[in-house]
A and B are shown apart, each in its own frame.
Chain A
Amino acid sequence: MILNLAVQAVQMLLVLAFAPLLMGFVRKVKARLLRRQGPPLIQPYRDLVRLLRKEVVLADSASRLFRTIPYLIFAATWVAAALVPTFGTRLMFSWSADLIVIIALLGLARFFLALAGLDVGTSFGGIGSSREVMIASLAEPAMLMIVFTLALVAGSTQLSTMAGFLASGEAGLRVSLGMALIALIMVAIAENARIPIDNPSTHLELTMVHEAMVLEYSGRHLALIDLSAELKLLLYVSLIACLFAPWGIAAPDAGLKALLIGVTAYIAKLAAGGFLLAVFETSIAKMRIFRVPEFLGAALMLGLLATLLLFVSRSL
């Protein structure tokens, strides 16, 4: 009981501590691949601290909601990130929310972020919100189809149970799981506003989506939004790791040693995930906004196909 609570608490702080590091790592690797020196690994932390200390400059037409939204987004994303198994499946509160709830919590964060884009009443904010909901309208169903696939394989929508089942190796190699993995990676790229869907380092461009919505934010509000975005990236890498690379993850009855192994394995997985993301991003060009539906439509179809295969094979 105490240990469970400790694991949960450590996890909540761990994701918060690692999220900027992962972002810094991805940026560093990307810069090195482009033969640049790149910012130091801890640059995201410095940015956050500096933003937190600065005053907020709020647009005249911003409403009260605009000031509340960063906290709402951070709360929803943090709760979601705290419920995805990272180094151990022994999470105290994993029963309070299954994978569908985690996806819906991220949906809640996006709902409010899109509202924030509309709040000040600028054209850039509107463009960001409008495109974000278009992307989400395809990414979310694709994600739910992936959840369906995994839930049918594992016989549960509970993330800890799923991770435990997939770690035990009972699932074996399945075509459906392969399709789900590809679809999940595609959705993760879209959800985190990475290339080729959106460019995280863009500014003042007509192609921006995520950055356009948060243009009017400054100071501590911007810090919270950036931290939420970093948490979301960490969440998706952890999700892919705990479902499709569950090696070393500590089982529910594991002791302290297994937990330590779990943490080491988790750090290695994060590094691998970040490295692959950076390599992928440097090797591909950003696509036109109206090519995105085709990209995500493919993810949706893969998810649906994977689910259908499971439905059909269940009776054979």
Chain B
Amino acid sequence: MALTVVLAIAAALFTVSALSLALKGSALDRPVVYGGSLALSAIGLAVGLNALIEQAPAETLILPIGLPWLGAHFRLDALSAFFLTVINLGGGAASLYALGFGRHETAPQRVLPFYPLFLAGMNVVVIADDAFTFLFSWEFMSLSSWALVMAHDHVRANLRAGYVYLVMASFGTLALLLAFGLLAGPDGAYAFDAIRGAHSSPTLIALVLLLVLIGTGSKAGLVPLHAWLPLAHPAAPSHVSGLLSGVMTKVAVYAFVRIVFDLLGNPAWWWSVVVLALAGVTCVMGVLYALMQHDLKRLLAYHTVENIGIIFIGLGLALGFQVYGLGWAAALSFTAALLHVLNHSLFKNLLFLGSGAVLTASGERNMEHLGGLIHRMPLTAFTFLVGCVAISALPPLNGFVSEWLTFQAILQSPQLPSWGLKFLVPAVGALLALSAALAAACFVKAFGITFLGRPRTEAARRAHETDRFSLTAMFVLAALCLLAGILPGFFIDALAPVAKAMVGNSMPLQREVPFLSIVPIAESRSSYNGLLVFLFMVFSGATSATVIHRLASNKLRRGPAWDCGYPDPSPATQYTASSFAQPIRRVFGTLVFRASEQVEMPPPGDPGPARLVVRLSDVIWDTLYEPIARAVEYVAERLNRLQSLSIRHYLSFVFVALVGLLLVLAIWP
């Protein structure tokens, strides 16, 4: 039943897309598309939540479409239900936001038809139960999101972003296609049930694992496959950016979990080494890149890379624990990863929506041109601040809970007998701690430069609060961030069936713990009560405020800023985004970005201004992508000659190819 509803939602989203074409040019198209998407997402959310909480048994359905001998298989189990919840929660919030935000869209016809299709694509990916349906919907999701990225194609940078995204997406799909081909074997058993039952050789499985890492990692943004993400995510309209960063990367996580934990089975110890090493590097690189940005949306996109790293650390640990039969620890790290999936989808969506509000209010994405927005748009500033605290993993909000659980999982890892992991896991722990601290620095910068201080340009000075739909969407997400932070036990319990199905074990039931605490293993080891910490803080803050205002003084006088006695009225004397990051750039940047600073002083007597030039180079782009691009270009140019030969040349090529293939067949044992 639930599965039929999800398919009906997908079909209805297609209808909405068609309706938008029919209503083209009328005033109704925007409310119809976003209102329809909102309603359908709400139904999808209800279905997903219901399946997750009721712990309904897996439901399957085969439709006679797709490959003729296969049909289209669909399945709704706990994992799918969880990701359906995440997708539709994000989709619903973005649709609600877009009801107001979409008014400012300059090219609505480039966005409206593709938006419901994108949602439909994501919904179908997580219920697909055979390789063909999966890849078809995966590619559908990629292409519809590509169309959305290209919505503003008059901006030159967006063209490049779209191109890089298309190349990387096709490359990722190719890797997944090969992975499924290897898994299905020579008989072409593409249904996931058949793949689950098959037993492949270890070398084959190793190859599949690497292909899956490439395929899903390129979509999720694992370093070094992240290159497209910070280009493409900011290029789309802001509500779509939120979906790309907050939700579509999670669909990639789903694909990784589905294939590695569910279809492959029986992991080997080195899998977790590969995943953990990649994830640790991803974490720190992502946040360091983010710190160097001064474009607000690009900063957020880079930060997604860091969070994907955190999620994959949890998954890698789960793999390691599973190999050595430490089921409860595997359940702990797996739950931590999934909880971070949910948490990140909440606050990243919230932050992108906030950046969209800033963009409409001031027309600026560049933080160097903003500042002081908290005075003009206090409500947006408040929700953005909630998102910043949450993403910086600070209590009592939700980001802290999942990182805390990940740290608890890391503390269980000395029990792993493998020496490789013994050395790797503490290092990954240190990288995670480093990235958490850098994330806080990054969001002090993002919030402080954008919303605090004095306005740096006229546009920032004239900014205005955003509309009610957008504010509602942001407040809903902010409230969820707080809720998931102070009552994490309910969320962990809801994830229990997913962990049970994927790693064969689940965390202890948190609803039996008194006072709504969470206890991952045993109370003597560790426990956390977000609600109590929150109440304590509210209590002590309120008490101190009341006592001071009653007993001491509540007088207040406004005056010019003190600034050590030499205040300068020009807003240019404030710290900017680049200068704020300068100390960190000096500490980490010389190593990672080959950053160099150069002061160009005019010669004595010349009244011209001195200049400070900062050069950063993207090491991964320069050492990995540039050579590949050059090689492809070189080969393409050489092969260019083949395009203008005569027919007999082509016939002889066909003949040679035929002979070659026959020879292979003859020699094959």
Which of these, B411, B515, B532, B563, contacts A151 with CB under 8 Å?
Answer: B411
Q: A133-B440, A136-B440, A157-B525 are in contact. Are A123 and B433 (CB under 8 A)?
A: no
Contact between chains at B429 and A145 (CB < 8 Å): yes
CB contacts (< 8 Å) of A64 on chain B: these are: 374, 378
Contact B559 A75 (CB under 8 A): no
CB <8 Å contact, B448 and A129: yes
Which one, A193-201, A266-274, A276-284, A305-313, is touching chain B?
A305-313
Take A61-B454, A65-B385 as given contacts and tell me if A96 and B533 are in contact as well, using a CB distance cutoff of 8 Å: yes
Q: Which of B429, B430, B538, B558 has the most A CB atoms < 10 Å from its CB?
A: B430
Question: Contacts of A311 on B, CB cut-off 8 Å?
Answer: 413-414, 422-423, 425-426
Q: Which of B168-211 contact A (CB under 8 A)?
A: none
Chain A's closest residue to B410 (CB) is A148
Report the minimum CB–CB distance from B423 to chain A (whole Å).
Answer: 7
**A 129-180 contacts with B by CB, 8 A:** 129-131, 133-134, 136-141, 144-145, 148, 151-152, 155-158, 161
Stretch at the interface among A29-37, A110-118, A242-250: A110-118
CB-CB under 8 A from B457, the residues of chain A are none
Task: Check if B647 is an interface residue, CB within 8 A of chain A.
Answer: no
Q: Nearest chain-B residue to A135 (Cβ)? A: B583
Interface size on A, residues (CB 8 A): 89
Are A220 and B453 in contact, CB atoms less than 8 angstroms apart? Answer: no
Of A72, A108, A121, the contact of B454 (CB 8 Å cutoff): A121
Question: Which residues of B lie under 8 Å from residue A122 when comparing CB positions?
Answer: 561-563, 567, 573-574
Complex formed: what's the CA distance from A53 to B226 in Å?
55
Question: Which residues of B, 575-627, contact A by the 8 Å Cβ criterion?
Answer: 575, 579-584, 586-587
Contact B544 A71 (CB under 8 A): yes
Q: Which residues of A contact B575 (CB under 8 A)?
A: 118, 123, 125-127, 129-130
Tell which of B425, B436, B564 touches A215, judged by Cβ atoms closer than 8 Å. B564
Is there contact, CB below 8 Å, between B579 and A148?
no
- Which of A52, A53, A144, A155 has the most chain B CB atoms closer than 10 A to its own CB? A144
Residues of B within 8 A of A148 (CB): 410-411, 426, 429
A104 to B389, CA, bound (A): 11
Q: Is the CB of B525 within 8 A of A156?
A: yes
Distance A72 CA – B453 CA, assembled complex (angstroms)? 19
Q: Per-position contact with A for B365-386: 1 when CB-CB < 8 Å, else 0?
A: 0000001101100100100010
Instruction: Compute how far the CA of A155 lies from the CA of B521 in the bound complex, rounded to whole angstroms.
Output: 11
SS class of chain A's interface: helix, strand, loop or mixed?
helix
Q: Once bound together, how far apart are the Cα atoms of A56 and B556, in whole Å? A: 5
Q: Does B104 contact A (CB under 8 A)?
A: no
User: How far, in Å, is B69 (CB) from chain A's closest CB?
Assistant: 52
The one of B372, B425, B430, B525 that contacts A141, using a Cβ cutoff of 8 Å? B430
A260-316 contacts to B, CB under 8 A, are 289-290, 293, 300, 303-304, 307-308, 310-312, 314-315
Per-residue CB contact flags for chain A residues 205-228 toward chain B (1 = under 8 Å, else 0) read 000000000011001100110000
A79 at the interface (CB under 8 A from B): yes
A119 within 8 A of B: yes
- Chain B's nearest CB lies how many Å from the CB of A49? 8
Taking the nearest CB of chain A, how far is it from the CB of B264, in angstroms?
28
A78 CB within 8 Å of chain B: yes
CB of A216 within 8 A of CB of B562, answer yes
B568 within 8 A of A: yes
Task: State whether the Cβ of B508 lies closer than 8 Å to any Cβ in chain A.
Answer: no
Interchain CB contact (< 8 A) of A60 among B385, B407, B559, B581: B559
In the complex, which of the residues A75, A140, A300 contacts B540, with contact meaning CB atoms closer than 8 Å? A75
**Given known contacts A60-B558, A137-B438, A158-B525, A130 and B563 CB-to-CB distance under 8 angstroms:** no
Given contacts A60-B560, A71-B541, contact A141 B571 (CB under 8 A): no
Q: When the two chains form their complex, are residues A134 and B548 in contact, meaning their CB atoms are under 8 A apart?
A: no
Chain B residues within an 8 Å CB radius of A158: 524-527
Instruction: Give the distance in Å from the alpha carbon of A311 to the alpha carbon of B425 in the complex.
Output: 9
Contacts of A127 in B (CB 8 A): 575
Q: How far is the CA of A117 from the CA of B573 in the complex (A)?
A: 14
B410 pairs with A304, CB closer than 8 A? no
A127–B587 Cα gap in the complex (Å)?
A: 16
- Given A108-B389, A121-B571, A130-B582, are A156 and B452 neighbors across the interface (CB < 8 Å)? no
Interface string of B255-269 (1 = CB under 8 A from A): 000000000000000
**Residue on B with the closest CB to A227?**
B544
Name the B residues within 8 Å of A71 (CB-CB).
541, 544-545
B523 in the interface, Cβ–Cβ < 8 Å? yes
Q: B646 contacts which chain A residues (CB < 8 A)?
A: none
- Chain A proximity mask over B624-638: 1 for CB below 8 Å, otherwise 0: 000000000000000
Q: Is the CB of A97 within 8 A of B579?
A: no
User: Bound state CA distance, A129 and B235, in angstroms?
Assistant: 31
A95 touches B553 (CB 8 A): no
Q: Is B50 an interface residue (CB 8 A)?
A: no
What CA separation (Å) do A53 and B549 show in the bound complex?
A: 10
Given A130-B582, A157-B525: A136 and B561 within 8 A (CB)? no
B228 to chain A, nearest CB (A): 27
Question: How far, in whole Å, are A161 and B400 apart by their CA atoms in the complex?
Answer: 22
B427 interface hit (Cβ, 8 Å): yes
Inter-chain CA distance A71–B548, complex, in Å, is 10
Q: Which residues from B are CB-within-8-Å of A220?
A: 548, 552-553
In the complex, A161→B558 CA distance in Å? 49
| Residues A115 and B452 in contact, CB atoms below 8 Å apart | yes
- Flag whether B648 is at the interface (Cβ < 8 A): no
B517 within 8 A of A: yes
**B526/A141 in contact, CB under 8 A:** no
Q: B163 contacts the other chain (Cβ, under 8 Å)?
A: no
Which among B527, B556, B575 has the greatest number of chain A C-beta atoms within 10 A? B575
The closest CB in chain A to the CB of B371 belongs to A121
CB distance from A52 to the nearest CB of B (A): 4
Given contacts A55-B553, A97-B533, A140-B437, contact A72 B426 (CB under 8 A): no
Give chain B residues whose Cβ lies under 8 Å from the Cβ of A115: 444, 447-448, 452
User: Is A17 part of the contact surface with B, judged by Cβ < 8 Å?
Assistant: no
- Nearest-neighbour CB distance to chain A for B457, whole angstroms, equals 13
A52 x B548 contact (CB < 8 A): yes
Interface check A41, CB cutoff 8 A: no
A114 to chain B, nearest CB (A): 5
Say which one of B141-149, B306-314, B390-398, B469-477 lies at the interface with A.
B390-398
A98 contacts partner chain B, Cβ-Cβ < 8 Å? yes
Q: Which residues of A contact B479 (CB under 8 A)?
A: none
Q: Point out the residues of chain B lying under 8 angstroms from A133, CB to CB.
A: 440-441, 444-445, 583-584
The smallest C-beta distance from B473 to any residue of chain A, in angstroms, reads 22
Whether A186 is near chain B, meaning CB under 8 Å from some CB there, is: no
Query: Is A65 within 8 A of B526, CB to CB?
Result: no
B404 at interface by CB-CB < 8 Å: yes
Q: Is the pair A111, B444 in contact by a Cβ cutoff of 8 Å? A: yes
Tell me whether A121 and B574 are in contact (CB under 8 A).
yes
CA distance A157 to B437 in the complex (A): 19
14 contacts across the A-B interface (CB closer than 8 A)? A57-B558, A58-B557, A58-B558, A75-B537, A78-B540, A79-B536, A118-B449, A131-B583, A141-B436, A157-B411, A158-B525, A308-B423, A311-B425, A314-B414
Given contacts A119-B448, A126-B575, A315-B422, could you give 9 more A-B pairs where the C-beta distance is less than 8 Å? Answer: A60-B561, A65-B385, A72-B541, A115-B452, A118-B580, A130-B581, A130-B583, A133-B584, A307-B430
Task: Identify the A interface with B (CB < 8 A).
Answer: 52-65, 71-72, 74-76, 78-79, 82, 93, 95-98, 100-101, 104-105, 107-108, 110-111, 114-115, 117-127, 129-131, 133-134, 136-141, 144-145, 148, 151-152, 155-158, 161, 204, 215-216, 219-220, 223-224, 289-290, 293, 300, 303-304, 307-308, 310-312, 314-315
